[in-house]
């Protein structure tokens, strides 16, 4: 079906999937139950299972950041200036030269 002019080709946007997170959850649950890894060697689930077995938390975090995207960071200010409530005031003054003479 052709799209009408001005209509988005992807109205739902990019899907919000997290493939590595899903693989980790599946393998963590199956490992908890004492089940063997049924995924093919080299697959995302297989790699997730091996990293879980080795306890490689930094590697898990790095792969998750690369595949699923980093977790958004909160905006936090210091004691002197809070970036959320920082307000700038712009003042305009009209000045006439030699008005005081």
d(CA 64, CA 70): 8
Is 27 a domain residue? Answer: yes
d(CA 48, CA 20): 7
Q: Domain of 42?
A: 19-68
Is 24 a domain residue? Answer: yes
Is 97 a domain residue? Answer: no
pLDDT in tens, 75-99: 666 666 655 665 678 888 888 877 6
Extract the tokens encoding 71: 């977790």
Does 66 or 13 have the greater pLDDT score? Answer: 66
Diameter of the chain measured on Cα atoms: 94
Look-up of token digits 């988005």: 8
What is the tally of structural domains in the chain? 1
Does 82 or 35 have the greater pLDDT score? Answer: 35
Look-up of token digits 């002019």: 5
d(CA 45, CA 33): 16
Is 13 a domain residue? Answer: no
pTM over 0.75: no
Is 28 a domain residue? Answer: yes
């Amino acid at each position: 079906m052709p799209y009408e002019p001005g209509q988005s080709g992807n109205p739902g946007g990019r899907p919000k999937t997290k493939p590595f997170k899903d693989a980790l959850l599946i393998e963590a649950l199956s490992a908890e139950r004492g089940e063997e890894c049924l995924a093919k060697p080299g697959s995302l689930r297989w790699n997730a299972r091996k990293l879980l077995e080795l306890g490689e938390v930094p590697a898990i975090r790095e792969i998750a950041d690369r595949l699923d995207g980093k977790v958004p960071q909160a905006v936090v200010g210091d004691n002197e200036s809070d970036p959320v409530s920082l307000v700038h005031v712009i003042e305009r003054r009209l000045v006439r030269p030699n008005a005081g003479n």
